[in-house]
């Protein structure tokens, strides 16, 4: 295949990341769901103060936020139980928000907007569906309290430089992302354990995600969507063809998010587990909760679609964990930096070779010119990597021999990655150092070692040359039942 492959625009990348940050797994939500289950079982008497809090929670919707400066991401945030995403950005960045662009997953409320406008932000972009102070209840029940409408009016007065941003995707982008997600290493690793190496489980998971995200990020009723757009000052988008184009563009972006999220699926016993002896401390050997690790890897997967490499898009993202739990919806975790594989900043498309190792003339191959995703994440980080904190990098591909020493030298404590290429030596690039790396905890996408050990204990022939053998149809059906359990 020749020519440039489709890329996500930066605006669409920031938009998708803001939607995805809204889905960051919340420890508070998990605790609350457990408490609710216990209360149901015990049939405790209904408390009016709790009911009032629940009503408030339903009214204020969780939102995700991407903070961008000079077209580089400097913050990824989401609402917590106490604070909205805009308030968190103000606490975390303060006056550094000046001249930043903010991408919200919902139109922010007046409380957030007045503070970020006061901080001197350059532009506020938001997803044009139900805002942070939900209007869906207002539209369907006009006799209900007018608070949400009053807030929407206040936001209109404050809006200054805020706008709805939904840019159309490049031609074939939805199809391209679905196809490449099916071929992604994590999906292929699971497929090898399925009868006939099929990827039907991916298709089923993607459909589940589309259904879930459409109900969350889209408004199915066209009239209700129009009324909400008019209430939040977007009446110019209510006429066709603008309205139908807007809805199609929103639907396409949700499909893209679902395709990418399904490529790191909740499936059977697959997840990120320690690989090999590490020579690391007990704290650094502690894996993140699987849903958090999966969420961060999907962030890296989204970044990979900005690649300038024709053959393989790679994304990398660095997070770190503070000693105490912060005010952010991400808990103790905070964003450090991110990147994707690309040619040096400022270069034009034709400045450097784009050929891979199939090109016999080694001088016109890309390998000596392309900057790897991990290298860009380290170069353009917005926070320092602190030696006394647990820092982690999520990479969509096994780090190569060029990047492994950089990751270790930077003081990163954990690597989450695929290991399909580990131990391989290719024409211009090798992956020998990853397996030998010590002093950094490695968590690779694999079948849970506990599950693998149990299989081997009951059936020593369950592995051939260290590779899991194909499961029976009964096992496959049992695993399919588990397919769409979990948040993603």
pLDDT 10s digits, 106-124: 999 999 999 999 999 999 9
| Residue-level pLDDT at 452 | 62
| Residue-level pLDDT at 366 | 53
In a domain, 459, yes or no: no
C-alpha atoms less than 13 angstroms from C-alpha of 154 in its C-beta half-sphere: 14
| Residue-level pLDDT at 240 | 92
Residues 291 and 238 in one domain: no
Residues 177 and 118 in one domain: no
Give the least confident one: 307-316, 395-404, 455-464: 455-464
Q: How confident is the model at residue 474 (pLDDT cuts 50, 70, 90)?
A: very low
- The top-scoring range by mean pLDDT among 38-52, 107-121, 277-291, 385-399 is 385-399
| Residue-level pLDDT at 219 | 96
The mean of the pLDDT values for the chain is: 82
Question: Does residue 472 register a pLDDT over 80?
Answer: no
The fraction of the chain above a pLDDT of 90, given in percent, is 61
- CATH code of residue 299: 3.40.140.10
In a domain, 463, yes or no: no
Give the pLDDT mean for 301-322.
92
In a domain, 69, yes or no: yes
Contact residues for 473 (Cβ-Cβ < 8 A; gap 6+): 195
CA 332 remoteness from chain centre: 17
Give yes or no for a contact between 418 and 396, defined as CB atoms under 8 angstroms apart. Answer: yes
In a domain, 455, yes or no: no
Q: Which of 212, 321, 374, 436 is catalytic?
A: 374
CA distance 182 to 391: 30
Give me the phi and psi of 453, to 5 degrees please. -65, -40
Could you tell me which residue, 84 or 280, shows the higher pLDDT? 84
Could you tell me which residue, 285 or 281, shows the higher pLDDT? 285
pLDDT in tens, 167-216: 888 888 999 999 999 999 999 999 998 888 889 999 999 999 999 999 99
Q: Is 22 a catalytic residue?
A: no
Residues 287 and 220 in one domain: no
Give the pLDDT mean for 464-483.
43
| Residue-level pLDDT at 350 | 52
Q: How confident is the model at residue 475 (pLDDT cuts 50, 70, 90)?
A: very low
* Chosen domain end from 165, 192, 222: 165
Name the strand (E) or helix (H) holding 482.
Answer: helix 473-482
* Chosen domain end from 165, 198, 226: 165
Question: Does residue 365 register a pLDDT over 60?
Answer: no
Could you tell me which residue, 348 or 175, shows the higher pLDDT? 175
Question: Does residue 367 register a pLDDT over 90?
Answer: no
Give the least confident one: 286-290, 346-350, 399-403, 438-442: 346-350
β-strands 315-321, 390-395 pairing = antiparallel
Could you tell me which residue, 339 or 310, shows the higher pLDDT? 339
CA distance 382 to 118: 23
Give the least confident one: 44-58, 149-163, 369-383, 384-398: 44-58
CA distance 310 to 3: 8
| Residue-level pLDDT at 479 | 44
Q: How confident is the model at residue 35 (pLDDT cuts 50, 70, 90)?
A: very low
Residues 152 and 24 in one domain: yes
| Residue-level pLDDT at 217 | 98
| Residue-level pLDDT at 53 | 44
Give the pLDDT mean for 161-166.
74
Residues 248 and 305 in one domain: no
In a domain, 485, yes or no: no
Within 265-413, strands assigned E span 270-274, 315-321, 333-340, 390-395
Question: Does residue 351 register a pLDDT over 90?
Answer: no
Give the pLDDT mean for 414-435.
90
Single pTM value for the model: 0.84
Residues 126 and 197 in one domain: no
CA distance 483 to 476: 10
Residues 382 and 303 in one domain: yes
| Residue-level pLDDT at 171 | 82
| Residue-level pLDDT at 71 | 95
| Residue-level pLDDT at 477 | 42
Question: Does residue 126 register a pLDDT over 90?
Answer: yes
The fraction of the chain above a pLDDT of 70, given in percent, is 75
Task: Determine the structural domain holding residue 220 and report its residue range.
Answer: 173-262
Could you tell me which residue, 327 or 340, shows the higher pLDDT? 340
Residues 303 and 242 in one domain: no
Count of structural domains within the chain: 3
Give yes or no for a contact between 150 and 231, defined as CB atoms under 8 angstroms apart. Answer: no
Question: Does residue 333 register a pLDDT over 60?
Answer: yes
| Residue-level pLDDT at 29 | 53
Helix (H, G, I), strand (E, B) or coil at 114: helix
In a domain, 257, yes or no: yes
| Residue-level pLDDT at 212 | 98
Residues 287 and 412 in one domain: yes
Within 11-153, strands assigned E span 64-69, 72-78, 101-104, 123-126
Residues 186 and 230 in one domain: yes
* Chosen domain end from 217, 241, 262: 262
Question: Does residue 284 register a pLDDT over 90?
Answer: no
| Residue-level pLDDT at 269 | 93
In a domain, 469, yes or no: no
Residues 307 and 247 in one domain: no
In a domain, 395, yes or no: yes
Give the pLDDT mean for 370-399.
96
Residues 258 and 238 in one domain: yes
Give the pLDDT mean for 50-74.
76
β-strands 390-395, 414-417 pairing = parallel
Give the pLDDT mean for 11-39.
75
């Amino acid at each position: 295949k020749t020519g440039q492959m489709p890329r996500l625009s930066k605006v669409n990348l920031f938009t998708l990341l803001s939607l995805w940050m809204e889905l960051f797994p919340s420890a508070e939500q998990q605790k609350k769901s457990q408490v609710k289950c216990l209360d149901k079982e015990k049939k405790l008497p209904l408390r009016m103060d709790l009911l009032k809090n629940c009503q408030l929670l339903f009214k204020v919707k969780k939102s995700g936020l991407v903070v961008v400066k000079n077209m580089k991401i400097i913050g990824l945030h989401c609402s917590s139980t106490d604070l909205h995403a805009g308030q968190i950005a103000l606490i975390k960045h303060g006056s550094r928000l000046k001249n930043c662009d903010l991408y919200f997953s919902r139109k922010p409320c007046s409380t957030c907007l007045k503070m970020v406008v006061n901080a001197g932000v350059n532009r506020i972009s938001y997803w044009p569906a139900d805002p942070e102070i939900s209007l869906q209840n207002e539209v369907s029940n006009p006799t209900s309290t007018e608070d949400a409408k009053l807030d929407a009016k206040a936001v209109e007065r404050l809006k200054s430089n805020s706008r709805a941003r939904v840019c159309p995707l490049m031609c074939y982008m939805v199809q391209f992302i679905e196809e490449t997600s099916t071929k992604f290493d994590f999906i292929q690793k699971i497929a090898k354990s399925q009868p006939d190496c099929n990827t039907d489980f991916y298709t089923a998971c993607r459909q589940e995600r589309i259904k879930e995200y459409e109900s969350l990020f889209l408004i199915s009723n066209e009239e209700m969507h129009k009324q909400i757009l008019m209430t939040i000052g977007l009446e110019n988008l209510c006429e066709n063809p603008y309205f139908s184009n807007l809805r199609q563009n929103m639907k396409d972006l949700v499909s893209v998010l679902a395709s990418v999220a399904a490529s790191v699926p909740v499936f059977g016993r697959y997840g990120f587990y320690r690989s090999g002896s590490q020579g690391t401390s007990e704290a650094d050997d502690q894996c993140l909760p699987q849903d958090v690790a999966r969420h961060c890897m999907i962030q890296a997967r989204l970044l990979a679609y900005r690649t300038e490499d024709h053959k393989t898009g790679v994304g990398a993202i660095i997070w770190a964990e503070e000693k105490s739990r912060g005010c952010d919806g991400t808990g103790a975790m905070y964003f450090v930096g991110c990147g994707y594989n690309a040619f040096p900043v400022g270069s034009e498309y034709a400045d450097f070779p784009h050929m891979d190792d199939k090109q016999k003339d080694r001088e016109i191959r890309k390998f000596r010119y392309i900057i790897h995703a991990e290298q860009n994440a380290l170069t353009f980080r917005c926070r320092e990597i602190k030696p006394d904190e647990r820092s982690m990098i999520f990479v969509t591909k096994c780090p190569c021999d060029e990047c492994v020493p950089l990751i270790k030298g930077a003081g990163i404590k954990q690597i989450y990655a695929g290991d399909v290429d580990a131990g391989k030596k290719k024409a211009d690039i090798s992956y020998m150092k990853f397996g030998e790396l010590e002093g950094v905890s490695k968590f690779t996408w694999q079948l849970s070692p506990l599950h693998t050990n149990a299989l081997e204990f009951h059936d020593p022939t369950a592995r051939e040359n260290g590779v899991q053998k194909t499961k029976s149809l009964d096992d496959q059906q049992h695993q399919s039942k588990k397919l769409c359990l979990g948040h993603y």
